[in-house]
């Protein structure tokens, strides 16, 4: 169905406002991102989740699965209190899995597994497609060991469906592309995201981290990074192991952070030059034990009087254990 046919459909049916909303969402989020793995029933449930309480019904058979490069049976929905039906057009149907295709150092199509994980790009990749398929949910190691400073079109990716940013730029030593507009609302893990990305120093202050639970090693060895992260919501983060370890320049305030769920900050500022007060964390830290081992090992600038009492108490207990162990040798 082309644009003229869609226009005619609207005029003929005088769409119910809910169906009009469905059509708009379909064209924006689904039409060109249909995955062969999904049945019509699964597609319908994903669509319905975008419009809560919409009272939609699927008219088409739910067990049908679309296939790429073919004419598929109509995907039809209706309101359950109306006879008005709406056929939603398929644009592109993506195969279950795909290999990355290249023209020199340009990736002309994105590879992904049947589980929806992106396939790692070759290290010399300097251009990617503007469109990131919406069914891809993991960018794990996508640009690990990249040799590029910038990767054309990377800033245009809609990452709103990505849950795992794990090691996406790990050891990409020259990488310093502006990705400030990436949407991270669905992010659960940023484990080792920029670890070893020595040149990275872009503003990512506006990222939504409210659902992230893992930030271990996120900036480990990101030696040039020094950006404002104070507005980040870290309330669900459980682990920040080595998060800023070996970040030689990072020294931005973190006093607005509320690490309510933290279980480990082991080595968080080890071998770094961070020295900002963290006293405001005290009222937000969990009660009882959490791992603070090596919290600031090798960091001579972060003084104990700038640490919250809960961390300092646990850190002193750790120091005593280390001393006792050394005394026994």
pLDDT tens string 110-155? 999 999 999 999 999 999 999 999 999 999 999 999 999 999 999 9
DSSP assignment of 203-264: --TT---TT--B-TTTTTT-TT-----TT---TT--B-TTTTTT-SS-----TT---TT--B
- Residue 46 sits at φ, ψ, to 5 deg, of -65, -40
Residues 38 and 183 in one domain: no
Query: What pLDDT does 4 receive?
Result: 65
Query: What pLDDT does 192 receive?
Result: 99
CB atoms within 10 A of CB 207: 23
Residues 43 and 105 in one domain: no
Does 248 map to a domain? yes
Does 31 map to a domain? yes
Does 65 map to a domain? yes
- 3-class SS of residue 21: helix
Query: What pLDDT does 241 receive?
Result: 99
pLDDT at 13 over 80: no
Does 160 map to a domain? yes
CB atoms within 10 A of CB 230: 13
pLDDT at 8 over 60: no
Give 10's pLDDT tier (boundaries 50, 70, 90).
low
Residues 211 and 291 in one domain: yes
Per the listing, tokens 């990505």 go with 162
Q: Which of 37, 69, 90 is the last residue of a domain?
A: 90
Residues 271 and 187 in one domain: yes
Nearest-CA neighbor of 72 among 104, 23, 35?
A: 35
Q: Which of 42, 69, 90 is the last residue of a domain?
A: 90
Does 95 map to a domain? no
Question: What integer is the mean pLDDT of 88-111?
Answer: 98
Residues 276 and 148 in one domain: yes
Residues 120 and 267 in one domain: yes
Residues 29 and 173 in one domain: no
pLDDT at 11 over 60: no
Give 323's pLDDT tier (boundaries 50, 70, 90).
confident
Percent of the chain with pLDDT over 90: 88
Residues 40 and 148 in one domain: no
Question: What integer is the mean pLDDT of 244-260?
Answer: 98
Residues 19 and 116 in one domain: no
Does 309 map to a domain? yes
Residues 72 and 215 in one domain: no
Q: Are 93 and 36 in contact (CB under 8 A)?
A: yes
Does 9 map to a domain? yes
Split into its structural domains, the chain has a count of: 2
Can you give the length of the chain in residues?
A: 329
Residues 301 and 281 in one domain: yes
Alpha carbon 49 to chain centroid distance?
20
Q: Please give the C-alpha separations between residue 16 and each of 50, 96, 134, 302, in angstroms, as whole numbers.
A: 17, 34, 27, 62
Question: What integer is the mean pLDDT of 270-277?
Answer: 98
Residues 176 and 251 in one domain: yes
Query: What pLDDT does 164 receive?
Result: 99
User: Is residue 228 left, alpha or beta, with left meaning phi > 0 and alpha meaning psi from -120 to 50?
Assistant: beta
The answer to which of 79-88, 147-156, 235-244, 294-303 has the lowest mean pLDDT is 79-88
Percent of the chain as helix, strand, coil, to the nearest 5: 20, 10, 70
Higher pLDDT, 54 or 42: 42
Query: What pLDDT does 203 receive?
Result: 99
Alpha carbon 144 to chain centroid distance?
15
- 3-class SS of residue 306: helix
pLDDT at 219 over 90: yes
- In the sheet that 75-79 helps form, which strands lie side by side, from edge to edge? 56-58, 75-79, 85-88
Query: What pLDDT does 15 receive?
Result: 75
Query: What pLDDT does 9 receive?
Result: 54
Query: What pLDDT does 92 receive?
Result: 94
- How much is the mean pLDDT over the chain? 95
Query: What pLDDT does 2 receive?
Result: 66
Nearest-CA neighbor of 127 among 157, 158, 150?
A: 150
**Residues in a beta bridge with 109:** 101
Question: What integer is the mean pLDDT of 295-311?
Answer: 96
Nearest-CA neighbor of 232 among 251, 216, 212, 214?
A: 212
Tell me which residue range forms the domain holding 22: 3-90
Q: Which of 90, 122, 137 is the last residue of a domain?
A: 90
Query: What pLDDT does 49 receive?
Result: 93
pLDDT at 223 over 70: yes
Question: What integer is the mean pLDDT of 259-287?
Answer: 97
Does 49 map to a domain? yes
């Amino acid at each position: 169905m082309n644009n003229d046919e869609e226009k005619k459909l609207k005029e003929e049916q005088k769409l119910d406002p809910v169906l009009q909303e469905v059509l708009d969402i379909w064209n924006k989020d689904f039409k060109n991102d249909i995955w062969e793995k999904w049945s019509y029933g699964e597609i319908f449930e994903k669509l319905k989740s975008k419009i809560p309480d919409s009272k939609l019904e699927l008219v088409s058979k739910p067990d049908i699965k679309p296939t790429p490069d073919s004419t598929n049976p109509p995907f039809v929905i209706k309101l359950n209190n109306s006879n008005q039906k709406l056929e939603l057009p398929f644009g592109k149907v993506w195969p279950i899995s795909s290999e990355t295709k290249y023209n020199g150092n340009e990736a002309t199509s994105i590879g992904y597994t049947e589980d929806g994980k992106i396939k790692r790009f070759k290290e010399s990749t300097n251009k990617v497609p503007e469109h990131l398929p919406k069914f891809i949910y993991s960018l794990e190691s996508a640009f690990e060991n990249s040799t590029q400073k910038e990767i054309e079109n990377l800033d245009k990716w809609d990452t709103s469906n990505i849950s795992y940013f794990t090691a996406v730029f790990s050891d990409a030593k020259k990488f310093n592309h502006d990705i400030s507009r990436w949407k991270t609302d669905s992010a659960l893990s940023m484990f080792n995201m920029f670890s070893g990305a020595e040149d990275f120093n872009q503003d990512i202050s506006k990222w939504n981290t409210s659902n992230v639970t893992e930030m271990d090693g996120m900036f480990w060895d990101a030696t040039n990074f020094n950006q404002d992260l104070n507005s980040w919501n870290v309330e669900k983060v459980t682990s920040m192991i080595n998060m800023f370890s070996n970040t030689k320049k990072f020294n931005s305030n973190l006093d607005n952070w509320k690490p309510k769920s933290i279980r480990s900050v082991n080595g968080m500022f080890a071998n770094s030059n961070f020295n900002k007060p963290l006293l405001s964390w005290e009222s937000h830290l969990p009660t009882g034990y959490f791992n603070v081992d090596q919290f600031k090992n090798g960091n001579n600038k972060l003084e104990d009087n700038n640490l919250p009492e809960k961390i300092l108490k646990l850190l002193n207990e750790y120091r005593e254990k280390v001393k006792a162990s050394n005394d026994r040798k």
